[in-house]
């Protein structure tokens, strides 16, 4: 009797864990946590003329750093703005540099590969360029609403482009039996170790050619990809398999995730890589905000009044669209 009760309890517990495990949604680029931190930290790279305004709206910029992820399955055309599967253009050819196969100019790239192909494999560097131009226009017209929203969202796309797994078709290790690595690298690791990161990144710099600048950090991300995948694979082979994952309580649910021990060992092998990509994100967000402001003629931001409540209302309305299954092309992004 007692035994069967115990069995029932164990079974019920297993079911709860299983339900939670299987209902965990898609992971988000850099994790919501890191996106918010990156936008917030970028404020401290800005020159005095911009700092007051951005600091005043720190909460908004941080909170809305994740809006683009919230609408990626509700708005057609959104999902592909967050990544570029650059290795697709090498088509498996060994020792091929995919960046030599892709013109940096949008028009040249469309001519060579067609717009449909580019949209299918991601457009992040070009979208960053579009967003810099939008932010410049917002500054020119002193449209506070647009300045804040575009700054927050530009920060998101720049940060995404700094994540190595945002530059590959194997974005979640699904082609190399490493499923889950996306959220591991960009969410779990920063959440566990960010406290030890050094975020003194210096002052925002003016960027002469934003599109080239965006391509440069996409390239840096892609060349870091080999370590991201290889170190995890090597570690998995040498690590006790029953200790790779563990159950953890998150609020009122139990989740199955990479254990702290495995995370620490992987983080050590990466030798500061997550910190370096996060630091680069911070300074590059600050630099492109600054560049847009300079290109707009350095407008005075001190007397701009923002009606934050109405901006938030506008955003809430826009985000209140049903998710479309057709837009969920990727299981994890």
Binding site for Zn ion (CB under 5 A): 29, 69, 82, 160
**Residue 157 Cβ, how far from Zn ion at the closest point, in Å?**
7
Least distance from C-beta 26 to Zn ion, angstroms? 11
Measuring CA to CA, which residue among 125, 29, 132, 123 is closest to residue 81? 123
Cα–Cα distance measured from residue 237 to residue 244, given in angstroms and rounded to the nearest whole number:
10
**End-to-end CA separation in angstroms for the chain:** 48
Name the residue nearer to Zn ion (CB basis): 160 or 232: 160
Closer to Zn ion by Cβ: residue 82 or 88: 82
Residue whose CB is less far from Zn ion, 26 or 299: 26
Q: Which of 199, 162, 194 is nearest to 43 (CA)?
A: 199
Tell me how far, at minimum, the Cβ of 182 lies from Zn ion, in Å. Answer: 11
Neighbours of 253 (CB within 10 A): 14
Q: Are 166 and 160 in contact (CB under 8 A)?
A: yes
The answer to whether the CB of 179 falls within 8 A of the CB of 172 is yes
Closest to Zn ion by CB, 171 or 293: 171
DSSP-based three-state secondary structure for 74:
coil
Give the shortest CB-156-to-Zn ion separation in angstroms: 6
Residue 50 or 154: which CB sits closer to Zn ion?
Answer: 154
In this structure, are residues 44 and 133 in contact, taking their beta carbons and an 8 Å threshold? no
Between 82 and 182, whose beta carbon lies closer to Zn ion? 82
Structure tokens at 188: 């779990």
Give CA–CA dist 130/125, Å, rounded.
9
Q: Residue 255 has what DSSP assignment?
A: E
Which single residue brings its beta carbon nearest to Zn ion?
A: 29
Return the number of the residue (37 or 82) whose C-beta is nearest Zn ion: 82
What size, in residues, is the chain? 333
Instruction: Give the shortest CB-201-to-Zn ion separation in angstroms.
Output: 21
Residue among 140 and 318 whose Cβ is closer to Zn ion: 318
Q: What are phi and psi of 250, to 5 degrees?
A: -120, 100
Q: How far is the CB of 195 from Zn ion (least distance, A)?
A: 24
- Closest by Cα among 17, 10, 35, 11 to 250: 17
Classify the phi-psi angles of 298: left when phi > 0, otherwise alpha if psi is within -120 to 50, otherwise beta: left
CB of 1 to Zn ion, least distance (A): 53
We find the least distance from the C-beta atom of residue 207 to Zn ion, in angstroms, to be 21
């Amino acid at each position: 009797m007692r035994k069967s009760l115990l069995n029932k309890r164990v079974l019920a517990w297993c079911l709860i864990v299983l339900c939670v495990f299987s209902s965990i949604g898609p992971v988000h680029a850099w994790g919501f946590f890191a996106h918010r931190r990156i936008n917030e930290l970028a404020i401290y790279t800005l020159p005095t003329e911009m700092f007051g305004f951005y600091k005043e709206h720190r909460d908004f910029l941080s909170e809305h750093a994740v809006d683009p992820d919230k609408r990626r399955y509700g708005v057609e055309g959104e999902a592909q703005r967050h990544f570029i599967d650059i290795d697709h253009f090498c088509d498996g050819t060994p020792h091929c540099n995919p960046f030599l196969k892709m013109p940096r100019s949008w028009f040249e790239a469309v001519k060579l590969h067609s717009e449909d192909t580019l949209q299918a494999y991601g457009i992040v560097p070009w979208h960053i360029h579009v967003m810099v131009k939008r932010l410049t226009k917002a500054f020119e017209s002193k449209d506070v609403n647009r300045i804040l929203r575009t700054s927050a969202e530009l920060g998101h796309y720049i940060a995404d482009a700094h994540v190595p797994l945002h530059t590959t078709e194997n974005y979640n290790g699904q082609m190399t039996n490493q499923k889950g690595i996306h959220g591991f690298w960009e969410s779990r690791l920063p959440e566990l170790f960010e406290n030890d990161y050094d975020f003194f990144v210096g002052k925002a710099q003016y960027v002469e050619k934003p599109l080239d600048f965006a391509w440069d950090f996409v390239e840096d991300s892609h060349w870091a990809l080999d370590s991201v995948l290889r170190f995890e694979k090597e570690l998995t082979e040498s690590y006790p398999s029953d200790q790779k994952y563990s159950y953890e309580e998150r609020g009122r649910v139990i989740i199955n995730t990479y254990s702290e021990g495995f995370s620490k060992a992987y983080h050590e092998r990466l030798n500061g890589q997550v910190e370096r990509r996060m630091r680069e994100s911070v300074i590059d967000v600050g630099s492109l905000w600054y560049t847009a402001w300079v290109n707009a003629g350095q407008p005075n931001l001190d007397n701009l009044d923002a009606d934050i409540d109405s901006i938030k209302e506008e955003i809430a309305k826009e985000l209140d669209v049903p998710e479309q299954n057709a837009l969920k092309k990727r299981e994890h992004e």
